[in-house]
Amino acid sequence: MTKTFMFNALREAIDEEMSRDNRVFILGEDVGHYGGSYKVTKDLHAKYGDLRVLDTPIAENSFTGMAIGSAITGLRPIVEGMNMSFLLLAFNQISNNAGMLHYTSGGNFSIPMVIRGPGGVGRQLGAEHSQRLEAYFQAIPGLKIVACSTPYNAKGLLKSAIRDNNPVVFFEHVLLYNLQEELPDQEYLLPLDQAEVVRSGRDVTILTYSRMRHHVLQAVDILVNDGYDPEIIDLISLKPLDIQTISKSIAKTHKVIVVEECMRTAGIGSEIVAQINEQRFDELDGPVVRLSSQDIPTPYNGMLEKATIVHPHHIVQSIKRMF
């Protein structure tokens, strides 16, 4: 076991897959000589050269389209968005090409590509750099969506995403890159479509993902001391949702709270609530509770920014109200 930062766990995943398969390459702004804004591609340019670690112009629509074209021809591109918000400029390519071409070609083309990068509410990055795009992309048919939350699952999930024959949108949270964890020295892969039961419990099911996993863990420490027994599920797969793991938990607890950094209106939580109500309504003791970010552009002001997202004390208060 070796202790490492999350940004380095992601770098290891890319390095191992590029070494294993010469069809894998990465492209994006400053991924080459500079090593990436968050150092996820540090030293890869020196190892693999200009043709496999491509520094691109500031033109997200162009280089994302180029990556999709290369995937059609049999390569396996990794697109890094310096900030996931910038990939709104490539929304047409991601939706009309990456998501659809396998289907509109009658299965003749596959799009084995990963679109990854930092997102979420950081620390005073401003509204344009604090987007939560998971709900934007969730509506696009043909995409898989994954949100990592620890160094361990970041590495295992990214390796699986690179090997997958579908387009995978891979969300990393900007405030988790310096998270440290011990990783196995041997190779491992993690499934892209399975949630993780972080803590088993019998009182209430807490559904969360990405950075909010860590806010939930802080809240649960308080709740356990107060006599509650919550179950924590890290969704990991945002599309498709692992409704089987969610349903199994609801059958035990009969109470559900969703904790997300996404917007409340039409966010990930909205889809979770819809699926639970459709499939497990009779097993609920009460309505599903949603704790989501405020429906406003994220303020630059630090105190106002903090007020827009969910914190551990909000989770504690909400669960106690449920009882």
Is residue 169's pLDDT more than 90? yes
Question: Quick check: is 60 catalytic?
Answer: yes
- Segment 246-259 shows an average pLDDT of 98
Residue 282 vs residues 86, 157, 250: alpha-carbon distances, Å = 42, 34, 10
Which pLDDT belongs to residue 314? 97
**What torsion, rounded to 10 degrees, do the Cα atoms 278, 279, 284, 287 define?**
-30
CATH fold for the domain made of 2-183: Rossmann fold (3.40.50)
Per annotation, catalytic residue among 102, 129, 173, 215: 129
The DSSP result for 56-85, as a single string, is: --S-HHHHHHHHHHHHHTT-EEEEEPSSGG
CB atoms within 10 A of CB 107: 8
Only one residue has tokens 């966010």, namely: 267
Which pLDDT belongs to residue 1? 83
Residues of the chain with CATH 3.40.50.970: 2-183
What value does the mean pLDDT of the chain take?
96
Tens of pLDDT, residue by residue over 38-80, are: 999 999 999 999 999 999 999 999 999 999 999 999 999 999 9
- pLDDT band at residue 2 under the 50/70/90 scheme: confident
**What torsion, rounded to 10 degrees, do the Cα atoms 291, 292, 295, 300 define?**
120
Rg of the Cα trace of the chain?
20
**What torsion, rounded to 10 degrees, do the Cα atoms 7, 233, 193, 237 define?**
-60
Per annotation, catalytic residue among 12, 29, 60, 231: 60
Is residue 95's pLDDT more than 90? yes
pTM here?
0.96
Is residue 237's pLDDT more than 90? yes
Query: Residue 297, preceding bond cis, omega within 30 degrees?
Result: no
Distance CA 256, CA 272 (A): 10
Q: Which residues contact 104 (CB under 8 A, 6 or more apart)?
A: none
CATH 1.10.287.130 correct for 196-322: no
133 φ/ψ angles, rounded to the nearest 5 degrees:
-90, 0
SS3 content of the chain, % helix, strand, coil (to 5): 40, 20, 40
Residue 233 vs residues 59, 213, 243: alpha-carbon distances, Å = 37, 8, 11
134 φ/ψ angles, rounded to the nearest 5 degrees:
-60, -40
Only one residue has tokens 């990592």, namely: 148
Distance CA 116, CA 284 (A): 36
- Share of residues in the chain with pLDDT > 90 (%): 96
What are the tokens at 63?
A: 């280089």
288 φ/ψ angles, rounded to the nearest 5 degrees:
-65, 130
State the DSSP code for 122: -
Is residue 99's pLDDT more than 90? yes
CB atoms within 10 A of CB 46: 11
Question: Quick check: is 305 catalytic?
Answer: no
CB 137 within 8 A of CB 143: yes
Is residue 233's pLDDT more than 90? yes
Residues of the chain with CATH 3.40.50.920: 196-322
Candidate from 58-72, 119-133, 147-161, 207-221 with smallest mean pLDDT:
119-133
What are the tokens at 318?
A: 């909400």
Helix (H, G, I), strand (E, B) or coil at 175: coil
